[in-house]
């Protein structure tokens, strides 16, 4: 009973918080955009993607397609092209917008099943891929891309000791991983998620190193608990998310949900249709992570 009352309050707050708006950073100095349409290219029927400009201008903040770069960092250096968008970018804040994100893939056990569910639900998600697993499953990387889902970087090794030895060690793994992805799909991602999160891993020097190379770090503000022991079953995963929607309704403008598609996360695959249903019932729509993703918190 107590739960029901709380739930009602949560929904009311969600309604009060409604309202789509665009937010621009203070001191915003964004001059490079040549307009959204110029960045849009049609790939396969029904699926499209956007690109950052040669001058590293970012696409319009309200686009809802994956954003990639046609050049790798290596190619940009060789051609003398800019390596970053600069210090500020425009954020997109929506009204009941959810970003489903999956880390640690791709793999044969779960990623393809997740892709099937997304297709069936006619929605897209974002996959933060690990270099080691990309090497093993290039065909799945291609499938994620062809389906119109977004791809982000999630290091090469996922080995904290190696990865967080220094900012250079960290960005070297990003570069290694973007090269692997470029070799499969012909473009590279610039969104990235730090394994284990930035908290406790990133010093200021890491943020600077990441920004200097134009990568956009993507955190999360909701999770199903599929990797922290609280979401061992699909039912627990759904309940965990449900509770977070109630206690943090103000996050509805950019609800970034952390999940995992690595081996051992079969419960996440099982929970996914229920998670999508739960969010749809609360009025959420689904977007892919773009270069306009706001800071998670």
Catalytic residue among 39, 60, 69, 103: 103
Nearer to Zn ion, 39 or 193 (CB): 193
State the nearest-atom distance from the C-beta of 289 to Zn ion, in Å. Answer: 15
State the nearest-atom distance from the C-beta of 241 to Zn ion, in Å. Answer: 19
Judged by CB under 5 A, does residue 106 bind Zn ion? Answer: no
Catalytic residue among 96, 124, 154, 260: 260
Nearer to Zn ion, 167 or 195 (CB): 195
Confirm whether 103 is a catalytic residue: yes
State the nearest-atom distance from the C-beta of 244 to Zn ion, in Å. Answer: 20
* Closest C-alpha among 235, 232, 191, 236 to residue 214: 191
Judged by CB under 5 A, does residue 152 bind Zn ion? Answer: no
Say if residues 258 and 98 touch (Cβ distance below 8 Å).
no
The contacts of residue 123 (CB under 8 Å, 6+ apart) are 100, 276, 286
* Closest C-alpha among 118, 113, 117, 145 to residue 129: 145
Nearer to Zn ion, 195 or 214 (CB): 195
- Each as own residue / partner, the long-range contacts of residues 204-211 (CB below 8 Å, 24 or more positions apart, any chain) are 205/167, 206/167, 206/170, 208/167, 209/167, 209/168, 209/170, 209/171, 210/167, 210/170, 210/171, 210/174, 211/84, 211/87
Distance CA 147, CA 240 (A): 28
State the nearest-atom distance from the C-beta of 52 to Zn ion, in Å. Answer: 25
Count the site residues for Zn ion by CB under 5 A: 3
Judged by CB under 5 A, does residue 104 bind Zn ion? Answer: yes
Sheet with strand 47-51: strands edge to edge: 40-44, 47-51, 67-69, 188-189
By CB under 5 A, the residues from 159 to 198 that bind Zn ion are 195
40-44 vs 47-51, strand pairing mode: antiparallel
Q: Which stretch binds Zn ion (CB under 5 A): 76-84, 98-106, 172-180, 218-226?
A: 98-106
Judged by CB under 5 A, does residue 103 bind Zn ion? Answer: yes
Binding mask 194-223 toward Zn ion (x if CB under 5 A, else -) reads -x----------------------------
Nearer to Zn ion, 103 or 217 (CB): 103
**CB-CB neighbours of 12 under 10 Å:** 11
State the nearest-atom distance from the C-beta of 212 to Zn ion, in Å. Answer: 23
Assigned token pair, 52:
């950052």
Nearer to Zn ion, 62 or 172 (CB): 172
Residues annotated as catalytic (active site), given as ranges: 103, 260
Q: Which residues bind Zn ion (CB under 5 A)?
A: 103-104, 195
């Amino acid at each position: 009973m107590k739960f029901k009352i709380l739930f009602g309050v949560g929904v009311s707050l969600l309604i009060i918080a409604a309202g789509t708006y665009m937010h621009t950073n203070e001191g915003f100095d964004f001059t490079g955009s040549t307009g959204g349409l110029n960045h849009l290219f049609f790939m396969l029927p029904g699926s499209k993607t956007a690109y950052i400009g040669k001058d590293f201008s970012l696409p319009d903040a309200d686009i809802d397609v994956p954003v990639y770069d046609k050049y790798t960092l290596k190619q940009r250096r060789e051609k003398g092209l800019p390596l970053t968008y600069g210090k500020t970018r425009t954020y997109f804040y929506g009204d009941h917008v959810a970003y489903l994100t999956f880390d640690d893939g791709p793999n044969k056990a779960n990623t393809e099943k997740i892709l099937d569910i997304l297709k069936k639900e006619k929605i897209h998600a974002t996959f933060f891929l690990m270099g080691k697993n990309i090497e093993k499953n290039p065909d799945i990387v291609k499938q994620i891309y062809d389906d119109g889902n977004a791809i982000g970087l999630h290091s090469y090794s996922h080995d904290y000791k190696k990865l967080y030895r220094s900012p250079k060690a960290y960005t070297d793994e990003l570069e290694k991983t973007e090269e692997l992805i470029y070799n499969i799909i012909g473009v590279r991602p610039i969104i990235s998620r730090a394994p284990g999160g930035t908290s406790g891993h990133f010093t200021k020097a890491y943020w600077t190193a990441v920004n200097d190379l134009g990568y956009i770090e993507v955190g999360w503000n909701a999770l199903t608990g599929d990797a922290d022991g609280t979401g061992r079953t699909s039912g627990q995963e759904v309940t965990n998310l449900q509770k977070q929607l109630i206690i943090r309704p103000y996050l509805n403008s950019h609800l970034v949900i952390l999940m995992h598609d690595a081996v051992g996360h079969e419960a996440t695959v099982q929970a996914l249709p229920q998670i999508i249903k739960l969010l749809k019932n609360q009025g959420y729509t689904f977007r892919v992570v773009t270069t306009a993703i706001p800071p998670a918190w």
